[in-house]
Structure formats: structure tokens, C-alpha cells
Chain A
């Protein structure tokens, strides 16, 4: 029942953050940051297990592992960007959060470009425009 641990942990941290917010908002923000990092670190190993299973399924389906890797990278970038943007928003810096999300979108687009190009090539081949 690890969910009980996570919920208890998050509730304790939330109470501490709320208690600190009035006097020392900067330390309340750091409490939130530390809690988020600890919760992710506790469950990173389980994500790895799920990913190895997904990789095995993709291999069995004969899927190109390159695409899976791109997908994984995109998920990682999106997770990190969301983490940072939410913290910025909590700190009251909504403008910074929007910039972090903007940078993440550009990076994700950059990673997805080869896949999109491959798709377009395939389409062109299908309609017979290009050999």
C-alpha cells in the first residue's frame, strides 16, 4: 500500500508548506520542491520496470525502437517541464512558467521532427509522387 505512504507524505508536506507560507514563502516553496523530488525518486524505479515491459512489447511487435526512444524522451521532457512550470506558478511567477512550457514545446517539436518527416515520406510514397 505505497499509495498510503505517498498521500501521508504529501499531506504532511502540504501542512508544513501552508504553515510556512505566511512567514517565509520562499522556504514553503522549497518544501514543495523537495516533496515533489522525493516522491518522484521513490517511484522512478517502478517507471523503469513499466518501460522495460513496453519495450519488450514493442520489440515483439517489430516496432522500430527509435520511435519508442523519441517517445520516452518526449515524456521525460514534458514531465520535467511540467514540474518546473508548476513550481514557478506556485511561486507566483506565471510568466516564467509560460516560458518554461514554451521551451519544452520547442524541444518536443524538435525531437518529433524526424518522425513527422518519416511519416510525410511514407505518405508521398503511398500516393506515388516520389519513388
Chain B
């Protein structure tokens, strides 16, 4: 439960990419806007995949799935 900051971090990146997307779109740089979105998704995906790895390891040790 102490890791709620990770959720806030993910949501922060989401809001940031949304704002960046609209800003770049207004500036007429559509390709950069899409690139920013993909970068945000990749950053968040790295965090979440790490978390998912620890979840799988924990499930494997708890339920003895080897």
C-alpha cells in the first residue's frame, strides 16, 4: 500500500502526455504529438512491467507454481 506514489506517477505521466499531445497538435506538429504519446506509454509500460514481474514471482512462490 505504501507504493501508491507509483500510481500517482503513472497518472501524472498520463496527464502530462495528454497535455503535451494537445499542445503539439495545436502547434501543428502531429507526428511529434504521437511520438510524445508513445514515449509516455513506453515509460509507464517499463514501470508496470517491472511491477508485473514482481507480481508473477510472488504468485509463483505463494502458490508454488514452478
Contact = CB atoms under 8 A, between A and B. Distances in A.
Binding site secondary structure of chain B: helix
Interface in B38-66: 40-41, 44-45, 47-48, 51-52, 54-56, 58-65
Interface residues of B, number: 34
Contacts, number: 105
Contact of A27 (B41, B51, B64): B41
A20 B11 contact: yes
B18 A9 contact: no
Interface of B: 1, 3-4, 6-8, 10-11, 13-15, 17-18, 21, 37, 40-41, 44-45, 47-48, 51-52, 54-56, 58-65
